[in-house]
Chain A
Amino acid sequence: MLNPDSVGRTFAGVDVITVTQEEINSFAAVIGEKNTSIAPPTFSIRISLREFESILTKPEIGLDWTRLVHGDQKFEIYRPIVAGDSLTTSATIENYKVAAGNEIVTVRSDLFNADEKVVSSWSTLVVRA
C-alpha cells in the first residue's frame, strides 16, 4: 500500500537525463515517424515512467509495481524534446485513492531543460487488488 503521507509530495529526480538521437530514432521507428529531428509526442514516457518506478517503489512510499496497470495518461508539451536536451525531472504524487481494493495513484512529471519546462505529464497508475 502507498504511504498516505507521500501524497502531495514532490520528488526531485537524481539524474540528469541526456536525450540521444538514437533513443529518438528507436522510438520514432516503432510508430513509423520519419521526422526524427524532434521526439514524438509520447516520447517522454520513456523518462517519466522509469522515474515514477524508482520513486514509488521506495520502501517508504511502498507501491507494488508488479501489479501495476496504466489507467490514463496526459501530456502537455511546451516544446518538443530534441537530442541533446539534458533533462531534470521532478515527480509529484498528486492524488491517491483506494477503490474496490485497487490503489489508484496519479503522479505528475515535470521535465526541465535547465530552467525551461519542456513537458508536463500525468499518469494514473492502478495497482490491482
Chain B
Amino acid sequence: MIQIGTLIPPHQFEVNRALLKQYADASGDQNPIHQDENFAKSVGLPDVIAHGMLTMALAGKYVSDWAGGPQNVKEFSARFTKPVVVPAGKSVDLTVSATVIEVTAAGVRLEISATSQGTKVLGMAKALVVQGN
C-alpha cells in the first residue's frame, strides 16, 4: 500500500567525464562546458559540469525503476538549481531519493531529491507515475 509520506530508498549513481561524453553523443548536446575544462573555466564555471538533462535522465531512471518501468512515467519536471561539478579523473555521486506526496486515481506523485557531493542539484523535482503496467 503506497501512502503519502512513503520514503523511497535512495540510489547513488556515479558521474564521471566518460559518462558526460557518452550523454553528449546520445543526446546531441555537445556544449563544451560539459567536456572541456578550459572552456568551462573560461565562462566562469568551477570545472566541467554535467548536463542538467543528464542529471534529470538519471533521476528518471530512478523513478522508472520504482514505478516498474519507463512506460509508467507520465509527468516529470525539475529545476536545475546547482551544477553537478565533474573533475577530471574521478567519479562524483548523484544521490537520488523520493517521497510520495500524492496518491490519486491519476497515479502517484513523487517529490524527488537529488544531491551531488552534498549539494542539492535539482529543485522542485516531481514525477507522476502509474504503477504496475
Using CB atoms and an 8 Å cutoff, list the residues of chain A in contact with chain B. 23, 26-27, 29-33, 35, 38-42, 45-46, 49-50, 69-77, 80
In the complex, the chain A residue whose C-beta lies closest to that of B75 is: A76
Q: Across the interface, which residues of B come within 8 angstroms of A80, CB to CB?
A: 70-71
Asked if A29 and B26 sit within 8 Å, CB to CB, the answer is yes
CB distance from A101 to the nearest CB of B (A): 14
Bound together, the chains give a CA A23 to CA B25 distance in angstroms of: 10
Partner of A35, one of B28, B70, B80: B70
Partner of A75, one of B27, B52, B76: B76
Asked if A46 and B63 sit within 8 Å, CB to CB, the answer is no
Partner of A77, one of B28, B54, B75: B75
CB distance from A61 to the nearest CB of B (A): 19
- Other than the given A70-B52, A80-B71, 8 more pairs (CB < 8 A) read A30-B19, A35-B69, A41-B70, A42-B56, A42-B76, A70-B80, A73-B80, A76-B74
Number of interface residues of B (CB under 8 A): 31
Q: Across the interface, which residues of B come within 8 angstroms of A74, CB to CB?
A: 75-78
- 10 A-B pairs, CB-CB below 8 angstroms? A26-B26, A29-B26, A33-B61, A33-B70, A41-B76, A46-B27, A69-B52, A70-B53, A71-B79, A75-B76
Given contacts A74-B75, A74-B77, contact A31 B61 (CB under 8 A): yes
Bound together, the chains give a CA A13 to CA B110 distance in angstroms of: 33
Asked if A46 and B28 sit within 8 Å, CB to CB, the answer is yes
Given contacts A75-B76, A76-B75, contact A41 B53 (CB under 8 A): no
Q: Across the interface, which residues of B come within 8 angstroms of A72, CB to CB?
A: 77-80, 124
Given contacts A35-B70, A71-B79, A74-B77, contact A30 B53 (CB under 8 A): no
CB distance from A62 to the nearest CB of B (A): 20
Q: Across the interface, which residues of B come within 8 angstroms of A75, CB to CB?
A: 75-77
Q: Across the interface, which residues of B come within 8 angstroms of A45, CB to CB?
A: 27, 53
Asked if A71 and B26 sit within 8 Å, CB to CB, the answer is no
Asked if B54 and A30 sit within 8 Å, CB to CB, the answer is yes
Given contacts A33-B64, A46-B28, contact A40 B70 (CB under 8 A): yes
Bound together, the chains give a CA A26 to CA B71 distance in angstroms of: 18
Produce 1/0 per residue, B46-71, CB < 8 A to A: 00000111101110110110000111
CB distance from B34 to the nearest CB of A (A): 11
Cβ of B104 within 8 Å of any chain A Cβ, yes or no, is no
